Homo-oligomer: A and B are copies of this chain.
Amino acid sequence: MKARVTVMLKTGVLDPQGEAVRHALGTLGFSGVTGVRQGKVIELDLDASDRAKAEADVKAMCEKLLANTVIESYRVEIL
C-alpha cells in the first residue's frame, strides 16, 4: 500500500523559501507569479493491508516526525 503525505506551512506563516522562488522566477522573466508556497511531499510504501489502520499510522507518523505541527499542516492520502 502507498501513502502520500503533503506538508505545507500553515497560512500566515512566512515562507522565505517561497519568497526566494518567487523572486527568482521574476528575475527569469516569469511575471504574473503573485505568490509561491513551498512544502514537502513524502511517499511511503507500507506493508499494511488495512486502509484505516494505515491512515491512522501515517497520521501518527506526521504528528511525531514528518510535520512540525506548530507551523505546518499535513494532508494524508492513501493511494
Using a CB–CB distance below 8 Å, which chain A residues touch chain B? 6, 8, 18, 21, 24-25, 28, 30, 32-48, 57, 60-61, 64-66
Contact = CB atoms under 8 A, between A and B. Distances in A.
A56 to B, nearest CB: 11
Given A30-B57, A48-B32, A57-B30, A42 B21 contact: yes
A1 B48 CA distance: 38
Nearest to A75: B41
Nearest to A31: B47
Nearest to A35: B45
B42 A40 contact: no
20 contacts: A25-B61, A25-B65, A28-B65, A30-B57, A30-B61, A32-B46, A33-B45, A33-B46, A33-B61, A34-B46, A34-B47, A35-B43, A35-B45, A36-B43, A36-B44, A36-B45, A38-B41, A38-B43, A39-B42, A40-B41
